[in-house]
């Protein structure tokens, strides 16, 4: 059907769905203008790729892993260009980083996949690339991505050398028994020293120097060598198209018009439009509406075969239907479900409440859709006297929490109140009554308000992490002092080369979660890097500290802290609250209390009117009478006065370092 300006204006005027949209499924209103609708047509009129031309032996599935800012996304851009997947222009920067928050912060938050086609020695190869995040908070994205791969590109900055997250990512790939190709990036930099980095890789990981590929992703140097190594070294997937269908859901997104779009890796069989499939998780049956590959935009295909990675749309309308790690199989051909993924272990918890309670349902819907896209977030219903109904969310770290909040605002236009972050503690109960109530002798505490009394507990346990710090040797002294101040225990110290040292410490998670990374970067002039992994729980002398304002406890500011640090923490929080709360017409007492014992106090002075200004001489009793009346009025105001804590105070009072 030919499109003219007249037919387009007719559709717009009558508010009818564009006929091109009918190919997508549910009705979609016409995009503005003739050009937009023509693009709609041209995108759908592309000839579908025949994926049967790529047998299992010509498929390579691989991920790019690296520390933050070592050039993963830039390398992905060059690979997309050299294989002709995207046009080569100067504007190709972070092509796979599609989220607004990723472009603003310059970091990868969400693993993204793309299928590349490359001819090597006369054979056409299908290369499925997954670009992964580099920050420790998004490690779960990396571990999920590796499940769909047979090999990885381990990228290391030729200037920075091996960093903490490089070590963590290497061992993730090593434990998954994947082929590892070392790539040394940024050799074009003035201070690049690839020989030093090669020696570091050999010493730490036993990777021979001659296996390293030196590249400049920015300038496109030696990118062909990377593709050749991927084809030669990474084995093809060991799956068979004659087996029954077995597809792993390793990621998913939500589209307002088409429902859930599931990213799948096919471990056996084949799938096409019209197939009846079943979810092993929910046991629900679906009909496949569309299958395809990502190039990096969605490209529909006739079929997907074993060993290939792509997407699937099957009319899943509810966000809960596409579980990450789920196995899809053909109706009446059940298979043994794939192991899936270990569920993410939240390291930080925070309360989330709508600014206005009338927005509760909108926020609930936004949370459901965003947690489908980020399955590492855990959600529990919660309520607060001050803030109303809300949720307590579990995150993998503080950056993860900030990014999640930013995505809620940008993608779903919602404003929320986030309370101060806390970590999950455990308590071993000694009271028979409480054991019967909870049904277990050990409980997990994610909200300080639920902290049990010391008399009913035999011991408290706090979470610990094994932290890895890589730093130039001149900063070792300062960093050791910082770690000791955070109650850390040194486990290992290793010289990577003559300039860099790797330190391993056992940290209480509570000591590093808020501002340790900032303090480390400040002490080391930005050169030190930090990564951590879960190390279980250990016994600790913990107490609950309440913050009282004019004698009334503020539930949102209650904190669980170590007994040795209670006084310093209480004094600090009172001082920060004094700065955060606006002055009133009456005096405000800000106190930190453990049980009934006050351990710190700050007083916010009242605004005061000079009531004796009109007295010119005369009897002093007149002045005393006016002052007494004023004092009585302020005492009455203090009894009935309501002090509101500003909403931005919740995170500010927990930061140990003062804001500049």
CA angle 625, 630, 633 (to 5 degrees): 125
Q: Are 314 and 277 in contact (CB under 8 A)?
A: yes
- Three-state SS at 336: coil
What DSSP character marks residue 219? T
185 is in an annotated binding site: yes
- Could you count the other beta carbons within 10 Å of the beta carbon of residue 568? 13
Q: Which two tokens stand for residue 617?
A: 């001489």
Handedness of CA 390, 653, 462, 526 (dihedral sign): positive
Q: Are 378 and 393 in contact (CB under 8 A)?
A: yes
562 is in an annotated binding site: no
- Three-state SS at 222: coil
Gap between the Cα atoms of 23 and 317, Å rounded: 18
73 is in an annotated binding site: yes
Gap between the Cα atoms of 268 and 266, Å rounded: 6
Instruction: Give the CA dihedral 271, 275, 280, 282, nearest 10 degrees.
Output: 140
- Three-state SS at 470: strand
- In DSSP terms, which residues pair with 61 in a beta bridge? 128
The full 3-state SS of 594-658, as one line of letters, equals ECCEEEEEEEECCCCCCCCCCCCCCCHHHHHHHHHHHHHHHHHHHHHCCCCCCCCHHHHCCCCCC
256 is in an annotated binding site: no
Gap between the Cα atoms of 201 and 207, Å rounded: 6
526 is in an annotated binding site: no
131 is in an annotated binding site: yes
66 is in an annotated binding site: yes
275 is in an annotated binding site: no
- The dihedrals phi and psi of 473, each to the nearest 5 degrees, come to -65, -25
187 is in an annotated binding site: yes
- In DSSP terms, which residues pair with 299 in a beta bridge? 293
For the chain, how are helix, strand and coil distributed in percent, rounded to 5? Answer: 35, 30, 35
Gap between the Cα atoms of 27 and 16, Å rounded: 9
365 is in an annotated binding site: no
Gap between the Cα atoms of 481 and 487, Å rounded: 10
The full 3-state SS of 552-569, as one line of letters, equals EECHHHCEEEEHHHHHHH
Gap between the Cα atoms of 506 and 534, Å rounded: 10
HSE (side-chain half, CA atoms, 13 Å) at 98: 11
186 is in an annotated binding site: yes
Q: Are 447 and 427 in contact (CB under 8 A)?
A: no
Q: Which two tokens stand for residue 458?
A: 């035999």
Query: How far, in Å, are 23, 152, 273 from residue 513 at the CA level?
Result: 48, 30, 47
Query: How far, in Å, are 36, 39, 293, 309, 593 from residue 43 at the CA level?
Result: 11, 6, 14, 21, 64
DSSP letters, 436-458, are: HHHTSSEEEE-SGGGPPPGGGEE
Q: Are 451 and 514 in contact (CB under 8 A)?
A: no
Handedness of CA 16, 21, 22, 24 (dihedral sign): negative
Q: Which two tokens stand for residue 345?
A: 């272990």
Gap between the Cα atoms of 545 and 569, Å rounded: 9
Gap between the Cα atoms of 392 and 401, Å rounded: 12
Q: Are 422 and 393 in contact (CB under 8 A)?
A: no
Which residues contribute to the annotated binding site? 66-73, 131-135, 185-188
Which residues contribute to the annotated binding site for GTP? 66-73, 131-135, 185-188
């Amino acid at each position: 059907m030919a499109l003219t300006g007249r037919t387009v204006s007719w559709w717009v005027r009558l508010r009818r769905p564009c006929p091109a949209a009918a190919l997508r499924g549910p009705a979609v209103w016409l995009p503005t203008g003739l050009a937009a609708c023509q693009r709609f047509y041209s995108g759908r009129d592309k000839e579908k790729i025949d994926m049967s031309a790529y047998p299992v032996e010509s498929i390579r599935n691989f991920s790019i892993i690296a520390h933050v800012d070592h050039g993963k996304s830039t390398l992905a851009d060059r690979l997309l260009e050299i294989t002709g997947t995207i046009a080569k222009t100067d504007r190709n920067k972070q092509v796979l980083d599609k989220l607004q928050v990723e472009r603003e912060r310059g970091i990868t938050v969400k693993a993204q996949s793309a299928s590349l086609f490359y001819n090597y020695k006369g054979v056409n190869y299908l290369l499925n690339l997954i670009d992964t995040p580099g920050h420790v908070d998004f490690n779960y994205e990396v571990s999920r991505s590796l499940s769909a791969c047979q090999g990885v590109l381990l990228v290391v900055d030729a200037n920075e050398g091996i960093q903490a997250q490089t070590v963590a990512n290497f061992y993730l790939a090593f434990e998954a028994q994947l082929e590892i190709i070392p790539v040394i990036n940024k050799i074009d930099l003035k201070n690049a020293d690839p020989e030093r980095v090669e020696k570091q890789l050999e010493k730490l990981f036993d990777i021979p120097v001659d296996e390293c590929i030196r590249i400049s992703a920015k300038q496109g140097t030696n990118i062909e060598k990377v593709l050749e190594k991927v084809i030669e070294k990474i084995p093809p997937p060991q799956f068979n198209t004659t087996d029954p269908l077995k597809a792993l859901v390793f990621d998913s997104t939500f589209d307002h018009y088409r429902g859930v779009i599931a990213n799948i890796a096919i471990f056996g069989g084949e799938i096409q439009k019209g197939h009846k499939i079943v979810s092993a998780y929910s046991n629900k049956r679906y009909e496949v509406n569309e299958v395809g590959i990502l190039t990096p935009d969605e490209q529909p295909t006739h079929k997907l075969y074993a060993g290939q990675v792509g997407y699937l749309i099957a009319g899943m309308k509810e966000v809960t239907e596409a579980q990450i790690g789920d196995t899809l199989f053909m109706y009446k051909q059940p298979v043994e479900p794939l192991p899936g993924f270990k569920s993410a272990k939240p390291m930080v918890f925070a309360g989330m409440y709508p600014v206005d309670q009338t927005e509760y349902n909108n926020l609930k819907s936004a949370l459901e859709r965003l947690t489908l896209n980020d399955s590492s977030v855990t959600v529990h219903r919660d309520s607060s006297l001050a803030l109303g109904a809300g949720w307590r969310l579990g995150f993998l770290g503080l950056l993860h929490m900030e990014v999640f909040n930013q995505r809620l605002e940008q993608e779903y236009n919602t404003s929320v109140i986030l309370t101060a972050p806390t970590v999950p503690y455990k308590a071993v109960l000694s009271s028979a009554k409480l054991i019967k109530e909870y049904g277990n002798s050990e409980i997990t505490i994610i909200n300080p308000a639920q902290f049990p009394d010391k008399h009913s507990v035999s011991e408290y346990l706090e979470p610990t992490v094994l932290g890895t710090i890589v730093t130039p040797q001149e900063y070792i002294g300062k960093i050791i002092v910082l770690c000791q101040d955070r109650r850390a225990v040194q486990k290992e110290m290793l010289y990577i080369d003559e300039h860099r040292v790797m330190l391993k410490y056992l940290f209480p998670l509570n000591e590093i979660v808020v501002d340790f990374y900032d303090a480390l970067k400040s002490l080391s002039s930005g050169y030190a890097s930090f990564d951590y992994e879960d190390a279980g729980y250990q016994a600790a002398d913990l107490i609950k500290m309440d913050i009282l304002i004019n004698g009334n406890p503020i539930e949102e500011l209650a904190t669980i802290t170590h007994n040795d640090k209670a006084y310093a923490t209480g004094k600090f929080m009172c001082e920060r609250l004094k700065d955060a709360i606006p002055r009133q017409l009456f005096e405000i007492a800000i106190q930190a209390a453990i049980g009934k014992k006050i351990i710190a106090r700050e007083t916010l002075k009242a605004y005061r009117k000079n009531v004796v200004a009109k007295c010119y001489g005369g009897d002093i009793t007149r002045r005393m009478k006016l002052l007494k009346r004023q004092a009585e009025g302020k005492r009455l105001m203090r009894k009935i006065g309501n002090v509101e804590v500003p909403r931005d105070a919740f995170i500010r009072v927990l930061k140990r370092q003062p804001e500049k």
